[in-house]
A and B are shown apart, each in its own frame.
Chain A
Amino acid sequence: MLFHTWPFVIFLLIVLPIFFALRKTRLWLLWLLAASYFFYGLWNPYCLLVVLYITVLDFFLVALMERCPEEGQEVDFRTGPTRPTCLTRLTRLTRSRGTWLVVGLIGNLLPLLFFKYARFLGENLNAVLSWLHVSATMPDPSTLMPFGIRYILPVGISFFTFQSMSYLIDFYLGKTPRERNFLRFANFVCFFPIVLSGPIERAGHLLPQFSSFPAIRLRNFSDGLSLFLVGLFKKLALAGYLSVYVDRIYDNPKVCGAPALILGTVAFGWQLFFDFSGYTDMARGVGKLMGFDLLQNFNHPYLATGIGDFWRRWHISFSRWILDYIFMPLQMYWRDWRATGTAAALLITFLVSGIWHGAAWTFIIWGALHGLAATFSLERSAFYRKRVPKLLKQAVVFIYVSFAWIFFRADSLSDALLIVRRIFTAAWQDPQLPALMVGLVVLVWIYQIIYESKFRKVLELGVVRVGLAVVMVLGLCLFSSGGGAFIYFQF
């Protein structure tokens, strides 16, 4: 059930009134969970088992961790008066929060590894084994599925797994208290507006919102509908339109000239932005309709003046996640190496970011490109910040980010390399790009530039807001295409 489809409208028309009707009872939380499980289970009921597994695992591991003494209070058995036996070692190990954290991390990552990466790892391992003339081969993961269940990637697995893991880690770090109510926690993991593609929420932000029925005001509806409309327009009118051009280029890059490949790549950057930020807007809009405030995920990323700045504007909830849980611990661990340690931490963080997006070499290279740019970024230098014109910085970042999108979008590594090669070597033919497409993207760009300028007040005028809403509603009727699934669902 996609946000931009009629079944979702019907789903919402059933869920919302009952949700509001139950506001004075304790059943609203149960109803919300039932709705979320129904929403998620519609994709594939078996995938719901993965959600349940992650939920139960993290809920009980945190309960176990709470029973353990905090890290500072633990007794180091190596300094004890007597040499401990195996049993005491084991007992002490189970009384360590760190142990349960490691168990939790492994337990959370296992389904992700199996469903998302096992085939990729197996194929690459088999290639290495074959190169080494070893007769053994790794089985295809689909052969390991029980009861004839199909081997498919549970939609949104990377999102809800990371979200749930953040609760586990935050509890370990003392940043968030234990949630004692299973229903609340289950809602946190599988809240239907965000379960498929985020934003990746933090326990400290979302869990408290489930502690009591949210305060509903008229503003919730007006804001929620506004966000939903913006998201719908981005998805159905803009992303759907751009996808036709992008698919034409990327489905057959061999026949395209350099301008078409360049513009197809730029168009993909915008398509992805409209698609993903459109999804997020709709998710946040639905959240607002129910009185929940969800994290912002995008903030005009193509106006970024550096790679670091780009990641503070693009998929913000995810970049904060990898910053907090991968980069910071690594940087802390390698703090003695100073700049080298930071560079290594950055590279690894972005490689993980690449792998998180998909099990393919193209994503790894995409992550590495961002990692390299972040490592060697001039953003921290005073000269870059103060002397280089903003527009130039924005242009350079946009070009670099667009170049990296080639690896993100290409169907294979060979396709990506072919596109890069042809951009520099192929003939300059007419890119066959419609003027209307150029016009729409330029208009959005201008809107964003104005928004970040001193003229922003113009966009906040009521007449402008109303005018834009009217244009979007009518545009949806006149321009919208079927839309298709969201690109980020595959992650």
Chain B
Amino acid sequence: MGNEPQIEKTLLNGRQWLAALAIVLPVVLLTPPLWERIERYDTGPDYRIPYQLSNDYGLYGQRLKAASNPNQVVVLGDSVVWGEYVLPNGTLSHFLNQESGAADCYINGGVNGFFPLALEGLITYYGQPLRHRKVILQCNVLWMTSPKADLSTEKEEPFNHSRLVPQFRPRIRCYKADANERLSAVVERRVGFLAWVNHLQNAYFGQKSILQWTLADDGGTPPRYRNLWKNPMRQITLTVPSSPQDDPQRGPASPRHKPWSEDGRGSTQFEWVGLDSSLQWQAFQRLIARLRGRDNNVLVVLGPFNEHLMAEENRAAYRRIRDGVAAWLAENRIPHVAPETLPSALYADASHPLTEGYEMLAKRISADPTFRNWLTEAAGRP
């Protein structure tokens, strides 16, 4: 053979590996914190994590870090807190601020597409800046309205934010990811550099890797490929995108912003999952334990669930769940507020209020003596 391979001559020896590590390690360790310093991140009042950045968990941690005033209260929850049908100035945190007379006392810590199992992961791995803070945690019983919503079915169900849920224990039966996917989720949570890469992909490359981004199409027919000859480096504008103030999909002018029903009467039969077996409720309990373990002063807001939607005979089961949650919270001395159900016309669906609904909800929460007492307490857990 005239061409005997000699590739081994270009392999690294021990010293060269050490040299490579001496370059790679500082890059990996220092890039994320340095990046946070140079990237412009305009939060402002009523800021919420933009919809398209819902998977940017590193950004969430950055957001919590940015809201560093110990007097600020972070409102944690799913899309009800985030405000699925409303603009940033129509959310619960906005109206709580309005009630308090401050501009940014309450921080919108909701994320679109969340549920307790994912929120638990988010707070556990990305929520360290929340330590010693006052936290309002929303409890949405929507996640117990069926085994599917509770993620307790045997059949495989795709769901959002699967990288945040427990990957091995407790077992989520409908989550059928292979071992590699689960392990890479576990690694990603623990390596800050990977969270930073995820942030880059989410913020500047349409949730794609830089290479895949160059091949992204616009979804049209025939598809157009707009990034083929673009310089990926130019995408990195060093300014985190923010939620549009005039999102056509949200707010009073949007066609989606309308009451869930014209006559206000429902006949939905939910297949409630009992508290003793609900995965979401267990995750919620663990989340509270985690927050309290981090010296957070937690207040739980139970609801706002749209009771009007349910068939009459289904309400008893709902009340059992709601009362069970309240009893557990009381038993564990966790202050909680369970505002009265809003008028039917103020709901957009089973749990999301419309703008006026949020306003009314904020008023009711603010007027609640438990809430008022809790507000006067110190930031850390009493």
A interface residues, Cβ below 8 angstroms from B? 2, 5-7, 10, 218-219, 221-223, 225-227, 237, 240-241, 244-245, 248, 255, 296, 298-299, 309, 312-313, 316, 432-437, 451, 459-460, 462, 465-466, 469-470, 473-474, 477-481
Of A298, A434, A473, most B-chain CB atoms within 10 Å = A434
Cβ of B9: which chain A residues have Cβ within 8 Å of it?
Answer: 460
Q: Quick one: which of B1-55 are within 8 Å of A by CB? A: 1-5, 7-17, 19-20, 23-24, 27-28
Contact A433 B228 (CB under 8 A): yes
Cβ of B14: which chain A residues have Cβ within 8 Å of it?
Answer: 218-219, 221-222
Contact A474 B24 (CB under 8 A): yes
**Chain B residue with Cβ nearest A313:** B3
**Chain A residue with Cβ nearest B187:** A6
The 8 Å CB contact of A237, one of B5, B17, B193, B211, is B211
Could you list some 26 contacts between A and B, CB below 8 A? A5-B179, A6-B180, A6-B183, A7-B179, A10-B183, A219-B14, A222-B17, A223-B8, A226-B17, A240-B211, A241-B215, A255-B222, A299-B5, A309-B3, A312-B2, A316-B5, A434-B225, A434-B228, A436-B211, A436-B214, A437-B211, A462-B16, A466-B19, A473-B20, A477-B194, A478-B209
The 8 Å CB contact of B7, one of A6, A221, A296, A470, is A296
Main secondary structure, interface of B, reads helix
Cβ of B225: which chain A residues have Cβ within 8 Å of it?
Answer: 432, 434
Cβ of A245: which chain B residues have Cβ within 8 Å of it?
Answer: 215
Contact A469 B20 (CB under 8 A): yes
Cβ of A433: which chain B residues have Cβ within 8 Å of it?
Answer: 228
Is B212 among interface residues, defined by CB-CB distance under 8 A?
A: yes
A113 to B8, CA, bound (A): 38
Cβ of B200: which chain A residues have Cβ within 8 Å of it?
Answer: 478
Is B197 among interface residues, defined by CB-CB distance under 8 A?
A: yes
The 8 closest A-B pairs by CB, nearest first: A6-B183, A434-B214, A226-B11, A5-B180, A296-B5, A469-B20, A299-B5, A241-B211
Contact A479 B23 (CB under 8 A): no
Contact A479 B20 (CB under 8 A): no
A245 to B228, CA, bound (A): 11
Shortest CB distance B55–A (Å) = 16
Contact A474 B27 (CB under 8 A): yes
A433 to B227, CA, bound (A): 10
Cβ of A6: which chain B residues have Cβ within 8 Å of it?
Answer: 179-180, 183-184, 187
Contacts A10-B183, A436-B211 given: A465-B232 contact, CB under 8 Å?
no
Shortest CB distance A365–B (Å) = 28
Shortest CB distance B168–A (Å) = 12
Cβ of A474: which chain B residues have Cβ within 8 Å of it?
Answer: 24, 27
Cβ of A451: which chain B residues have Cβ within 8 Å of it?
Answer: 10
Contact B228 A470 (CB under 8 A): no
Binary contact track B267-291/A, C-beta < 8 Å → 1, others 0: 0000000000000000000000000
**Chain B residue with Cβ nearest A293:** B8
Is B375 among interface residues, defined by CB-CB distance under 8 A?
A: no
Binary contact track B235-279/A, C-beta < 8 Å → 1, others 0: 000000000000000000000000000000000000000000000
Starting from the known contacts A6-B180, A474-B24, A478-B200, 15 additional A-B residue pairs (CB-CB under 8 Å) come to: A6-B179, A7-B179, A10-B183, A240-B211, A241-B215, A298-B5, A299-B3, A434-B229, A437-B214, A460-B9, A460-B10, A465-B10, A469-B12, A470-B23, A477-B197
A225 to B21, CA, bound (A): 12
Is B329 among interface residues, defined by CB-CB distance under 8 A?
A: no
A419 to B211, CA, bound (A): 26
Contact A222 B197 (CB under 8 A): no
Cβ of A473: which chain B residues have Cβ within 8 Å of it?
Answer: 20, 24
A221 to B15, CA, bound (A): 12
A222 to B184, CA, bound (A): 25
A369 to B23, CA, bound (A): 48
Is B338 among interface residues, defined by CB-CB distance under 8 A?
A: no
Contact A470 B24 (CB under 8 A): yes
Contacts A312-B3, A470-B23 given: A227-B211 contact, CB under 8 Å?
no
Cβ of B8: which chain A residues have Cβ within 8 Å of it?
Answer: 223
Cβ of A469: which chain B residues have Cβ within 8 Å of it?
Answer: 12, 16-17, 20
A34 to B17, CA, bound (A): 31
**Chain B residue with Cβ nearest A8:** B180
Q: Quick one: which of B78-96 are within 8 Å of A by CB? A: none
Cβ of A10: which chain B residues have Cβ within 8 Å of it?
Answer: 183
Contacts A6-B183, A245-B215, A299-B3 given: A466-B12 contact, CB under 8 Å?
yes
Is B325 among interface residues, defined by CB-CB distance under 8 A?
A: no
Cβ of A221: which chain B residues have Cβ within 8 Å of it?
Answer: 14
Shortest CB distance A181–B (Å) = 30
Shortest CB distance B236–A (Å) = 11
Is B310 among interface residues, defined by CB-CB distance under 8 A?
A: no
Cβ of A434: which chain B residues have Cβ within 8 Å of it?
Answer: 214-215, 225, 227-229
Cβ of B19: which chain A residues have Cβ within 8 Å of it?
Answer: 462, 466
The 8 Å CB contact of A481, one of B11, B13, B193, B212, is B212
Q: Quick one: which of B157-184 are within 8 Å of A by CB? A: 179-180, 183-184
Cβ of A477: which chain B residues have Cβ within 8 Å of it?
Answer: 28, 193-194, 197
Is B321 among interface residues, defined by CB-CB distance under 8 A?
A: no
**Chain A residue with Cβ nearest B182:** A6
Cβ of B229: which chain A residues have Cβ within 8 Å of it?
Answer: 434-435
